[in-house]
Structure 1
Amino acid sequence: MKRRKIVLVAGVFPPGVGGMQNYYYNLSKHTKHEMTVIAPVYPDSDYAAFDKEQSYRTIRGSFMRGERADVTSWGRLFRQVRRTLRKEEPEVTVYGYVLIGFIGLLFKLFGGRRYIISVHGMDMLMFRRFIGLNQIVKLILRQADGVLANSEFTRRLVEEYGVQASRIGIVHPGVESLFRSKPADEALLRQHDLEGKYVLMSVGRLVTRKGHDRVIEAMPAIIRHIPNAVYVIVGDGPDRGRLEKLAETVGVAGRVRFVGGVSGSEKLNDYYNVANQFIMVSRQLEKGDAEGFGIVYLEAASARVPVIAGRSGGASEAVLDGVTGLLVEPESLMEITDAVVRLASDTPLRERLVREGYKRAKQQFQHDVLAGVFDQYAGRICARPAVRYKRARKNAVERMRS
């Protein structure tokens, strides 16, 4: 495979914390191409020391601070991308957020530079309510040399914008190899009063689509079948206050543990290993919020924890129903309860799901494997003849009209 020069314009990146941050970091770390990353500044972290340890080159600047963008930051980012493209002369630029891709569109129309848009699901839904923005998104996607989706679910959303299937590639999020099964941390059990308890666990940002509220509402029925059940919620977010109040209203405040955010994958692995089941019943909301994939399901599977997911968005790709876990209708408290009780009582089923989930996570979703998929896809895009910018402008006008 020919080594290509690639610039990644990442709206989020470590040391920021989150699934998208890890996605772009691991593509950059494991790719065989020559990668330069344009990333935000995180004022409260030693990002310079972090960058120094990496094999790829990172450019940070005042164009974006702490993942917060405003009107002026777009101009600064545009100028930074322009300087980088002139200096690096990459064969393709990858934009890590669909609206940032407007910069890629401009450089294609007025310079013929190739670009790829990376999308994650929610960004393919959130602009559809706004006619003007939706038209811009459509143009950015249709004019792109390639669109990189994180799941089949996301790929289908991209196709709805009229993007040809041949230009869409899929690179799933990957699982760090350190997620593994190990004895439960006794100090952690004592810290959260989990000794002798049957632990259900969710890991994720506390936002409505993740479905923490539905699991809390199902807890009274779950407790009737599993008297020592507790629900441990790892993560933080804007929904925490509402969820704490809901637990009190439902009468299960003493059975729900709000852990807050956990720093570091090793510590998170310790939490997975005190769980008897992992559950996150994500659902798609009317405003366009959806789970694009859900790497936490595969992290739990890597730790040999049985998983339950909501039948929504890309979660059905992260969890294969009846093969590597169970899918439930995320709004059905009965289905949630039945799935939890079934995993707790059916030992052969639980062991089979754990075995197959672990195998799939370790064989198909390791970062080096997925980076290889990215490398082949990016290589194909770079090998295509470049479109002259006058023709690119003409194509853009035609696609706007269509």
Structure 2
Amino acid sequence: MKRRKIVLVAGVFPPGVGGMQNYYYNLSKHTKHDMTVIAPEYPDFAEFDEGQPYRIVRGPFMRGERADVTSWGRLFRQVKRTLRREEPDVTVYGYVLIGFIGLLFRVFGGRRYIISAHGMDMLMFRRYIGLNQIVKLILRKADGVLVNSEFTRRLVEDYGVEAGRIGIVHPGVESLFEPKTVDEELRRQHGLEGKYVLLSVGRLVTRKGHDRVIEAMPGIVRHIPNAVYVIVGDGPERERLEELAKTVGVAGRVRFVGGVSGTERLNDYYNLANQFIMVSRQLEKGDAEGFGIVYLEAASARVPVIAGRSGGASEAVLDGVTGLLVEPESLMAITDAVVRLASDTPLRERLVREGYKRAKLQFQHDVLAEVFDQYAGRICAAPAAAIYKRAGKSTVERMRP
């Protein structure tokens, strides 16, 4: 495989915390291509950047964890400087609207570009006719679109992107997620001695379904009297979820841990759990789970998994094979799945065994980076003129004054 020069314009990146941050970090770390990353500034980013095996260019391109539209001029200029200096074979844009910069450089400079899509970004603009048309243009004129799941691929195809230009690279699992001896001090810290622990790991936002598990807890406790629900993560829904636990009468059964930093510490929490549960659902406003790598992290620690039948979760969890899928709005379905896993030992052991094997064989970062490398190489080798094989005036003709 020919080694290519790639520039990644990452909307988010470590030391920021989150699934997309890890996704881009591990692609950059494990690719065999020559990678340069343009990333936003975070506190302590200089310490993180030191010693990374790829180049990182930082700038004030974000506000919190959202793309800062007011700073896109600075991002545009930085991309322009980087493209001139690096002369890459292709540029990957890690957020669909940032890809408008790629469209401009494609039209007026002939630069190849790939859009990286994650699911929610394919849904959130559909209510806005103007933005939706811009998204469609960005996607259809890209040389390629990289997606994280079959779910996201279908959303991209809905925009009219040919299947041959779409590549699927799932998120990967850190090899450090493994079964280990329970940390007794951590168990005591959260008062979990003698408890049957249900665990969720994820940002506290509505789509993750923490509220539905809390609402199901009274029914779960009737069948599993020592059940406790441990929630790792933080976010805007925390206060509402704490109030909900009080309203439902299970405040003493729910532990809000907050954010946990570091793979090893997170692995300690997985190993406290008897079951992992996150019943994500798709919201009307266009919020959906694009994939859900936490399901595979739990599987790597040999914890049985329950997921919501929504978005890309059905690819992270194979129903009845590596875990159970439930209707995320049904409290009865959630309760029944938890009780079933607790009581059916042969089923639980089979799901754990198959889930662990799949996570370790198919979702390691080096395996997935090889898929990315092949895809990026194919896009770079394809005839550049192929994206203009459509009827009507070319993009250049339409955009010129």
Aligned runs of 1:49-128 on 2, under 5 Å? Answer: 49-64=47-62, 66-128=64-126
Distance change (3 Å), C-alpha of 1:4 and 1:394:
farther
Aligned runs of 1:2-401 on 2, under 5 Å? Answer: 2-42=2-42, 44=43, 46-64=44-62, 66-387=64-385, 394-396=393-395
Quote the Cα distance in structure 2 between the aligned partners of 1:251 and 1:135: 47
Distance change (3 Å), C-alpha of 1:156 and 1:68:
closer
Q: Which amino acid aligns with 1:184?
A: V
Instruction: Please give the per-residue CA displacement for 1:59-118, whole angstroms capped at 9, x wherever unaligned.
Output: 012334654443431000000000000000000000000000000000000011100000
Quote the Cα distance in structure 1 between the aligned partners of 2:364 and 2:274: 24
Distance change (3 Å), C-alpha of 1:80 and 1:389:
farther
- TM-score when scaled to structure 2? 0.97
3-state DSSP of counterpart to 1:139:
helix
8 Å contact from structure 1 (residues 111, 389) kept in 2: no
8 Å contact from structure 1 (residues 40, 67) kept in 2: no
8 Å contact from structure 1 (residues 125, 289) kept in 2: yes
3-state DSSP of counterpart to 1:308:
strand
Aligned residues: 398
RMSD between superposed Cα atoms in Å: 1.7
Distance change (3 Å), C-alpha of 1:131 and 1:5:
same
Q: CA deviation at 1:390?
A: 9.6
Q: Which amino acid aligns with 1:99?
A: L
Quote the Cα distance in structure 1 between the aligned partners of 2:368 and 2:398: 32
Quote the Cα distance in structure 1 between the aligned partners of 2:144 and 2:387: 16
Instruction: Please give the per-residue CA displacement for 1:223-247, whole angstroms capped at 9, x wherever unaligned.
Output: 0000000000000000001100110
Quote the Cα distance in structure 2 between the aligned partners of 1:389 and 1:153: 24
Is there any run of 5+ residues in structure 1 with no aligned partner, and where? none
8 Å contact from structure 2 (residues 94, 117) kept in 1: yes
Quote the Cα distance in structure 1 between the aligned partners of 2:130 and 2:341: 47
3-state DSSP of counterpart to 2:352:
helix
Quote the Cα distance in structure 2 between the aligned partners of 1:104 and 1:163: 16
8 Å contact from structure 1 (residues 112, 389) kept in 2: no
- The percentage of aligned residue pairs carrying the same residue is 87
Deviating more after overlay: 122-131 vs 53-62: 53-62
8 Å contact from structure 1 (residues 139, 399) kept in 2: no
Distance change (3 Å), C-alpha of 1:6 and 1:345:
same
Distance change (3 Å), C-alpha of 1:391 and 1:283:
closer
Q: CA deviation at 1:168?
A: 0.4
8 Å contact from structure 2 (residues 8, 38) kept in 1: yes
Q: CA deviation at 1:48?
A: 1.2
Q: Which amino acid aligns with 1:25?
A: Y
3-state DSSP of counterpart to 2:58:
strand
Quote the Cα distance in structure 2 between the aligned partners of 1:388 and 1:351: 50
Quote the Cα distance in structure 1 between the aligned partners of 2:291 and 2:67: 25
8 Å contact from structure 2 (residues 143, 387) kept in 1: no
